[in-house]
Amino acid sequence: FTASMLEPYCDGHGHPTDNSGISFVPPELLNQAAPLLDELGFQLHFHAIGDRAVRECLDAVEHAIARNGRNDHRHHIAHLQVVHPDDVPRFRELGVAANMQSLWAALEPQMVELTLPFLGSPRDAWQYPFGDLLRSGAVLAAGSDWSVSTPNPLAAIHVAVNRVSAPGEKEGEYPPFLPEQAIDLATSLTAYTAGSAYVNHLDETGTIAVGKLADFALLDRDPFAGPAEEIGATRVLQTFVEGERVHAAGDA
């Protein structure tokens, strides 16, 4: 009940309550602070869980653009748990990157027992709308939100593609969660590599190309070659940073 929502939470039995959650930063303050931070050259990195939170973050960037014009700060919003459909196209319009933590876009006990009954229809279906964001033309970036979540991007990519938890992360058997919001493997991998590099202004990495830093991981399989249901079983054999091996499977 801490996510800030446009409409009150349900009581779990189909009735509304008088609780709409909290805005961690009041919107009036956010709309004052965002243009000032933007003007000073700061990148705005929001974590927004409810549909009101997402809207207030987008509004704040809109205020910044109105005052300062557009720039290359690459502001982004993480979590994106509940996004009102009216706000989906605003990511592209405002140049705000959608920063996905796709590991959570699956049915599991926390979603089924603690979330869906308290959101109610239709907004229970507005969760993690990565497919809609992609189709709207938004820039997709991705991250883990570690340490509250696994840092393993392959487990999260598994969910982005399949909308079910990866093998080994599963608690019970559930059908895909809002499968129309699934995104393909290439898009998901791009978000977790080039997209993350983009929002971090790391333009010298994120893709493998002549002239870029040799930052890459060597996997135990080609995830494009196998069935999508096995993406999450992919393991990293070696990791290189600027051409130097920093991890090898079996290292202590």
Please give the residue ranges that form the binding site for Zn ion (CB under 5 A). 47, 145
- Taking the complex as a whole, the smallest distance from the CB of residue 33 to Zn ion amounts, in Å, to 19
* R_g of the chain, CA atoms, integer Å: 19
Between 7 and 145, name the residue whose CB sits nearer to Zn ion.
145
Q: Strand, helix or coil at 244? A: strand
Between 148 and 209, name the residue whose CB sits nearer to Zn ion.
148
Between 35 and 128, name the residue whose CB sits nearer to Zn ion.
128
Between 10 and 97, name the residue whose CB sits nearer to Zn ion.
97
Helix or strand holding residue 236 (H, E): strand 236-241
Helix or strand holding residue 245 (H, E): strand 244-248
- Considering Cα of 69, then 51, then 110, then 121, what sign does the dihedral take? negative
- Taking the complex as a whole, the smallest distance from the CB of residue 72 to Zn ion amounts, in Å, to 24
Q: Strand, helix or coil at 106? A: coil
Between 80 and 138, name the residue whose CB sits nearer to Zn ion.
80
- Taking the complex as a whole, the smallest distance from the CB of residue 187 to Zn ion amounts, in Å, to 22
Helix or strand holding residue 134 (H, E): helix 130-136
Rounded CA-CA distance 116/107 in Å is 10
Number of neighbouring beta carbons within 10 Å of residue 70: 9
- Taking the complex as a whole, the smallest distance from the CB of residue 61 to Zn ion amounts, in Å, to 18
Between 145 and 230, name the residue whose CB sits nearer to Zn ion.
145
Rounded CA-CA distance 31/62 in Å is 9
Residue nearest to Zn ion (CB): 47
- Taking the complex as a whole, the smallest distance from the CB of residue 79 to Zn ion amounts, in Å, to 6
Rounded CA-CA distance 59/150 in Å is 31
- Taking the complex as a whole, the smallest distance from the CB of residue 127 to Zn ion amounts, in Å, to 15
Q: Judge contact between 207 and 193, C-beta under 8 A.
A: yes
Give the DSSP letter string of 170-230. Answer: --S----SSGGG---HHHHHHIIIIIHHHHTT-TTSSS--TTS---EEEESS-TTTS-GGG
Between 47 and 92, name the residue whose CB sits nearer to Zn ion.
47
- Taking the complex as a whole, the smallest distance from the CB of residue 105 to Zn ion amounts, in Å, to 15
